[in-house]
Amino acid sequence: MSHGGEKAIKAALFANGAIAAMKLIGALMSGSASMLAEFKHSLADASNGLFLLAGVRQSGKAPDARFQFGYGKTAFFWSFVAAVAMLSIGGAFSIYGGITKMIHPEELEHVSLNLGIIGASILFEMYSLYTALKGICLDGGESASGFGVVTTALRLVGRAAPTTKFIFYEDLAALLGLVIAGFALLITWATEHSIFDGIASVIIGIMLLVIGFYTARENMNSITGEAADPELVREVGHFAKTLPEVKDIHRVKTMRVGPAAYLLNLIVEGDKNLSLAQVDDINFNIKMEIEKRFPEIQYTHVTMIEDNYTDDWASYCNTLDGDERCPS
């Protein structure tokens, strides 16, 4: 995983730990269900940070005889565990607490204290979110500063490591949850009906269930071995076609083997008169050039077959997802 991704996890861990402590104090003093739901949310987020950090450390271990493509997928496993924690601790418990609050409403106390805690928590979450956005930029191989970090990260989020994306969605959900909890407290204080506090808790819980399910599915796909982003596949194919002795690209297959690591199986077409020794040298050169140009491609297998004088790359490239069309 990129240094930026690990930094995002540490920033989120620090922010969520501080926020959870503040929210717990506010919830106990005021009796707010939405604030208690937000505490559970932050507690789940802090626990998730520990899971993600453990996964990142394990995924950085060097390949060995038993795991010859490395330990990169352990990061996906721990991200999946974190997503399940968000579904259960964050989502289900918040919904339960909200329903209980609606059935048995209680008067809120220390509303101003809770609003102050929410305001401070928003500042912590904005710091964590900004760090996650910078991590996405680094995962995508680009740098940015200021507001450009936001636009660049949103464009590159599809290419970010699942662990970095998890922190991003987690922080985004936390910000939305804080805004919802703040509005619920204000409405409850103005109307003196605590049912709105319970409703907010249920809304926060549903939001966490949706994000937890989405991130769990994302990590399940990575564990299963999903392909690289179509944009990356196109870039690799276009680049390989420009290399010496490559007449066409017959097929490109990829599989994610780590947070920012892919296995590439590339079939190229060449002149039928090339000798076996020449083909071997060309394949090695293609492998080295690709791994130099694309650091995320860490394992490359190249096979050369005879040119069939058909533009296979244009046909295959246009079957990839996305709006970009491939020139003939």
State yes or no: pLDDT of 24 exceeds 80.
yes
Phi, psi angles (nearest 5°) of residue 272: -70, -15
* pLDDT on residue 317: 86
* pLDDT on residue 219: 85
Q: What is residue 135's DSSP assignment?
A: H
State yes or no: pLDDT of 239 exceeds 90.
yes
Sheet with 297-306, strands from edge to edge, namely 248-258, 261-270, 297-306
CA dihedral 184, 188, 193, 199 (to 10 degrees): 10
Mean pLDDT of all residues in 25-35 = 77
Mean pLDDT of all residues in 56-64 = 84
- The share of the chain scoring above pLDDT 70, in percent, equals 95
- What is the C-alpha radius of gyration for the chain, rounded to an integer number of angstroms? 24
Domain check: are 219 and 262 in the same one? no
Q: Which two tokens stand for residue 140?
A: 């995508």
| CATH number of 152's domain | 1.20.1510.10
Domain check: are 203 and 100 in the same one? yes
Domain check: are 21 and 168 in the same one? yes
pLDDT band at 1 (very low <50, low <70, confident <90, very high): very low
Report pLDDT digits (tens) over 74-118: 888 888 888 887 777 778 878 888 898 888 877 767 778 888 888
Q: Is residue 276 part of a domain?
A: yes
Asked whether 169 and 83 are in contact (CB, 8 A), the reply is: no
Domain check: are 35 and 58 in the same one? yes
Domain check: are 202 and 107 in the same one? yes
Mean pLDDT of all residues in 131-160 = 83
| CATH number of 249's domain | 3.30.70.1350
Of 51-55, 82-86, 107-111, 303-307, where does mean pLDDT reach its minimum?
A: 107-111
Per-chain mean pLDDT for the chain: 85
The label of the residue with tokens 């296979």 reads: 312
Q: Which two tokens stand for residue 167?
A: 């922190």
Query: Looking at per-residue confidence, does 238 or 146 come out higher?
Result: 238
* pLDDT on residue 63: 87
Host domain of residue 43: 3-224
State yes or no: pLDDT of 182 exceeds 80.
yes
The label of the residue with tokens 């996305």 reads: 322
Domain check: are 202 and 298 in the same one? no
* pLDDT on residue 4: 55
The reported pTM is 0.74
Asked whether 161 and 153 are in contact (CB, 8 A), the reply is: no
Asked whether 70 and 258 are in contact (CB, 8 A), the reply is: yes
- Please, which residues have CB within 8 angstroms of residue 177's CB and are 6 or more apart in sequence? 37, 38, 41, 204, 207, 208
Q: Is residue 185 part of a domain?
A: yes
Domains held by the chain: number: 2
Q: Which two tokens stand for residue 219?
A: 């990590």
Using alpha carbons, list the distances in angstroms from residue 164 to 9, 135, 172, 232.
7, 7, 12, 18
Asked whether 328 and 314 are in contact (CB, 8 A), the reply is: yes
Domain check: are 181 and 239 in the same one? no
Report pLDDT digits (tens) over 242-267: 999 999 999 999 999 987 789 999 99
